[in-house]
Amino acid sequence: MLVDTGACERNVHLCHHGRSEPGCGDCAVRPISVCSVLTLPELDQLEALSQHLTLDKGQTLFGQGEPADFVFNVIEGCLRLTRLLPDGRRQVMGFALPGDFLGLALQERYTVSAEALGHVRTCRFDREDFAAVTEANARLLKSLHDRARFELTLAHDQMLLLGRRTAEEKVAAFLLSLKDRFARIGHNSVTVELPMGRQDMADYLGLTIETVSRMLSRLDRAHSILLVPGGVRLLDQDRLERLAAS
């Protein structure tokens, strides 16, 4: 296994694709990733440029302000995307799930930090190498544009969450949004995994951790959800949707 200098500072594991690793053609997230539009020969070309990067809980994929030298495809796990404000406060900007592509912004430095919330596997590409492949493949370029539109939709949803909704409406909307995102990767269940903690949810929704806990308990008592280890079960999705639409 090869480890580069930057990865070594964070004690993450970096390796080139090998026979023990599934290739791009067998990747579990290929159907929902930007590379889904590529043919097998084109995937082979992309695979030659890629490296697998593995992180444990709490390790950082990249930090805010670091040179944006790489782009990443999330294969497994969940990452918390945060921005440190000038006054030292932390704002959670979002959560990256399998199939998400990170580092596509045009800035020369990452505007957020990406931290693993558990075991995470990503596929890493040198940004310039990936840009060259993209420029030569119109279908991949369109796929990236579609991904950018999806991320813009998530950003708009975040703006609505931080708007004039009540705390209960914010929590309901967050749970439904997370359910929809998990459904995109084939986890279509009434039980929604919560890889993030209550504080992460609070920082994302612009609430306090006490308020988030209180709203989850209120929804649980109202039989709208059932709190279970590691997540929530959506018992009354119609009511949650009414709250989210308020």
pLDDT > 60? residue 20: no
DSSP structural state of residue 23: -
Instruction: Tell me which H or E stretch contains 179.
Output: helix 167-184
Domain of 85 in residue numbering reads as: 5-157
Number of domains in the chain: 2
Q: What is the mean pLDDT of the chain?
A: 84
Contact 38, 137 (CB under 8 A): yes
pLDDT for position 13: 56
Per the model's pLDDT, the better-predicted residue between 179 and 106 turns out to be: 179
Is the domain of 81 the same as that of 150?
yes
pLDDT for position 23: 65
Q: How far apart are CA 141 and CA 135, in angstroms?
A: 7
Over residues 192-203, mean pLDDT: 95
Is the domain of 149 the same as that of 71?
yes
Is the domain of 102 the same as that of 9?
yes
Contact 66, 96 (CB under 8 A): no
Q: Give the end of a domain, one of 157, 176, 206.
A: 157
Question: CATH no. for residue 199?
Answer: 1.10.10.10
Q: Please tell me the number of Cα atoms within 13 Å of 9 on its side-chain side.
A: 6
The 10 Å Cβ neighbour count of residue 179 is 20
Q: How far apart are CA 132 and CA 140, in angstroms?
A: 11
Per the model's pLDDT, the better-predicted residue between 46 and 106 turns out to be: 46
Q: Give the end of a domain, one of 157, 192, 214.
A: 157
pLDDT for position 92: 93
Of 112, 110, 104, 56, nearest in space to 80 by CA: 112
Is the domain of 170 the same as that of 150?
no
Is the domain of 67 the same as that of 143?
yes
pLDDT for position 49: 84
Q: How far apart are CA 101 and CA 125, in angstroms?
A: 11
pLDDT > 90? residue 39: no
pLDDT for position 110: 93
Is the domain of 108 the same as that of 229?
no
Question: CATH no. for residue 80?
Answer: 2.60.120.10
**Interior/surface letters 74-88, b for 16+ CB within 10 angstroms, e for the rest:** bbebbbbbbeeeeee
Q: How far apart are CA 21 and CA 44, in angstroms?
A: 14
pLDDT for position 63: 96
First to last CA, the chain: 52
